[in-house]
Chain A
Amino acid sequence: RKEVEQDPGPFNVPEGATVAFNCTYSNSASQSFFWYRQDCRKEPKLLMSVYSSGNEDGRFTAQLNRASQYISLLIRDSKLSDSATYLCVARLDSWGKLQFGAGTQVVVTP
């Protein structure tokens, strides 16, 4: 079983709409969580951290459910530039080793 699992998508979203997707993690000892973004064949970049109480960064909202071991990302008012693959990430160790999901592809259409 993969340590971090994501629906690969693609999620086809009209511009201006809202899209949400989850990921699940298998190790209950995971300490912290993040969403990274990866554009086609480019390097991953940190989008946002995920806090226990949930957090928002502009149009992006992240939630963590430790009891069910899943993390969610919601994108409001989608822009064409939001088209990318969103990587769910769990950190197992205090020193920073990150476990990446395979990514969820989002395609925002005009």
Chain B
Amino acid sequence: NAGVMQNPRHLVRRRGQEARLRCSPMKGHSHVYWYRQLPEEGLKFMVYLQKENIIDESGMPKERFSAEFPKEGPSILRIQQVVRGDSAAYFCASSRASGQDTGELFFGEGSRLTVL
């Protein structure tokens, strides 16, 4: 009965490299959300996806960031040409439906990106 699985848990990249963060939602969950948490700040919504569809990407930076949730396999958050300001914890969350009934999102343990 695995929860939301994220990997890698820790990732170190040099400026200009690419970072790929993966998220497998809980079994039976078809809705995935990505949030970013900077030190001493709250979680900031980035993107909401269902299988093969981006539903809301209003929180995604306009450049360098992309997300997908293919029919098969995990959701992937991709950051191209990373900069120091991208250093943060990236949390993935999933819900069974749209989370309307309970508002409960189940979070993974996060992927901590450090850009040198």
Contact = CB atoms under 8 A, between A and B. Distances in A.
Query: Does chain A bind chain B?
Result: yes
B42 A87 contact: yes
A104 B95 CA distance: 25
Contact of A43 (B31, B44, B56, B109): B109
Interface in A18-71: 32, 34, 41-46, 49
Interface in B85-116: 89, 91, 95, 98-100, 102-105, 107-110
What interface size band does chain B fall in? Answer: 20 to 34
Contacts of B40: 8, 102
B104 A102 contact: no
A100 B103 contact: no
Contacts of A103: 42
Contact of A94 (B4, B91, B98): B98
Given A42-B109, A95-B55, A100 B48 contact: no
What interface size band does chain A fall in? Answer: 20 to 34
B75 to A, nearest CB: 16
Nearest to B4: A43
B91 A46 contact: no
Contact of A46 (B89, B100, B104): B104
Which A-B residue pairs are the 8 nearest by beta carbons? A96-B99, A43-B107, A102-B42, A100-B43, A95-B98, A100-B42, A46-B104, A96-B98
Interface of B: 4, 31, 33, 35, 40-45, 48, 55-56, 89, 91, 95, 98-100, 102-105, 107-110
